[in-house]
Copies of this chain bind each other. A is one copy, B any other.
Amino acid sequence: MGIHEECGVFGIYSPNKRKLSQEVYAGLFSLQHRGQEAAGIAVNEDRNIRCLKGLGLVHEVFGTQEMEELGNGQIAVGHVRYSTSGSNAPLNAQPMLVKHIKGQLALCHNGNLVNSYELRKRLELSGCIFQTTSDTEVISYIITQKRLKAPSIEDAVCEAMKELEGAYALVLMSPAKLIAVRDPHGFRPLVIGRNEDGSYVFASETCALDAVKASYVRDVEAGEIVIVDWEGLRSIRSHCGQRKSLCVFEYIYFARPDSFIEGESVHKARKRAGSFLAEAHPVKADVVIGVPDSGLDAALGYAEESGIPYEMGLVRNKYIGRTFIAPEEAGRGGQVMLKLNPVASVVSGKRVILIDDSIVRGTTSQRIVQMLREAGAKEIHMRISSPPFLYPCYYGTDVDSDAGLIARSHSVPEICSLIGADSLGFLSVEDALKLAPSIPPDHFCAACFDGSYPTRRPEQSEKNRFE
Residues of chain A touching chain B, judged by Cβ–Cβ distance below 8 Å, are: 22, 25-26, 29-30, 32-33, 36, 50-52, 57-60, 62, 64, 67, 69, 87-88, 90-91, 96-101, 105, 121, 124-131, 140-141, 144-145, 148, 207, 210-211, 213, 256-258, 260, 265, 267-268, 293, 296-297, 300, 304, 309-312, 315, 317-322, 324-325, 327-329, 332, 337-338, 341-346, 375, 467
**Which 3 residue pairs across A and B have the least CB separation, nearest first?**
A265-B345, A101-B124, A127-B145
Cα A293 to Cα B320 with chains together (Å): 15
Min CB distance, A289 to chain B, in Å? 11
Q: A265-B344, A319-B32 are in contact. Are A140 and B129 (CB under 8 A)?
A: yes
Instruction: Give which listed residue, B29, B144, B324, contacts A338 with CB less than 8 A.
Output: B29
Cα A341 to Cα B265 with chains together (Å): 14
Cα A4 to Cα B52 with chains together (Å): 27
The 10 listed contacts between A and B (C-beta, < 8 Å) are A26-B337, A33-B319, A60-B321, A99-B129, A126-B127, A127-B145, A128-B128, A211-B341, A257-B315, A318-B318
B129–A26 contact, CB under 8 A?
A: no
B36–A319 contact, CB under 8 A?
A: yes
Closest to A215 in B: B374
Min CB distance, A162 to chain B, in Å? 16
A258–B341 contact, CB under 8 A?
A: yes
Cα A329 to Cα B145 with chains together (Å): 40
B329–A57 contact, CB under 8 A?
A: no
Cα A460 to Cα B317 with chains together (Å): 38
A341–B30 contact, CB under 8 A?
A: yes
Instruction: Give which listed residue, B101, B141, B310, B337, contacts A310 with CB less than 8 A.
Output: B310
Residues of B contacting A128 in the complex (Cβ-Cβ under 8 angstroms): 100, 127-128, 144
Cα A310 to Cα B301 with chains together (Å): 11
A127–B148 contact, CB under 8 A?
A: yes
Min CB distance, A82 to chain B, in Å? 13
Given contacts A52-B87, A260-B344, 16 further A-B contacts (CB under 8 A): A26-B338, A30-B338, A33-B319, A51-B88, A88-B97, A99-B124, A100-B124, A127-B141, A129-B140, A129-B144, A131-B131, A210-B375, A256-B315, A293-B318, A296-B312, A300-B311
Residues of B contacting A121 in the complex (Cβ-Cβ under 8 angstroms): 101
Residues of B contacting A328 in the complex (Cβ-Cβ under 8 angstroms): 22
B98–A342 contact, CB under 8 A?
A: no
B297–A312 contact, CB under 8 A?
A: yes
Scoring A32, A124, A145, A467 by chain B CB atoms within 10 A of each residue's CB, the highest score goes to A124
Cα A30 to Cα B141 with chains together (Å): 39
What number of copies of this chain does the assembly contain? 4
Min CB distance, A110 to chain B, in Å? 18
Cα A127 to Cα B28 with chains together (Å): 31
Closest to A48 in B: B467
B30–A258 contact, CB under 8 A?
A: no
A87–B144 contact, CB under 8 A?
A: no
Min CB distance, A12 to chain B, in Å? 14
A51–B87 contact, CB under 8 A?
A: yes
Cα A360 to Cα B420 with chains together (Å): 46
Residues of B contacting A256 in the complex (Cβ-Cβ under 8 angstroms): 315, 341
Cα A295 to Cα B29 with chains together (Å): 23
Residues of B contacting A327 in the complex (Cβ-Cβ under 8 angstroms): 22, 25, 62, 64, 67
Scoring A267, A296, A300, A375 by chain B CB atoms within 10 A of each residue's CB, the highest score goes to A267
A29–B319 contact, CB under 8 A?
A: yes
Residues of B contacting A69 in the complex (Cβ-Cβ under 8 angstroms): 87
B318–A57 contact, CB under 8 A?
A: no
B207–A315 contact, CB under 8 A?
A: yes
Residues of B contacting A87 in the complex (Cβ-Cβ under 8 angstroms): 50-52, 69
B125–A341 contact, CB under 8 A?
A: no
Instruction: Give which listed residue, B32, B51, B127, B309, contacts A317 with CB less than 8 A.
Output: B32
A125–B148 contact, CB under 8 A?
A: yes
B131–A317 contact, CB under 8 A?
A: no
Min CB distance, A29 to chain B, in Å? 5
Instruction: Give which listed residue, B90, B210, B341, contacts A341 with CB less than 8 A.
Output: B210
B67–A100 contact, CB under 8 A?
A: no
Closest to A133 in B: B99
Closest to A105 in B: B129
Q: A267-B343, A343-B267, A344-B258 are in contact. Are A131 and B96 (CB under 8 A)?
A: yes
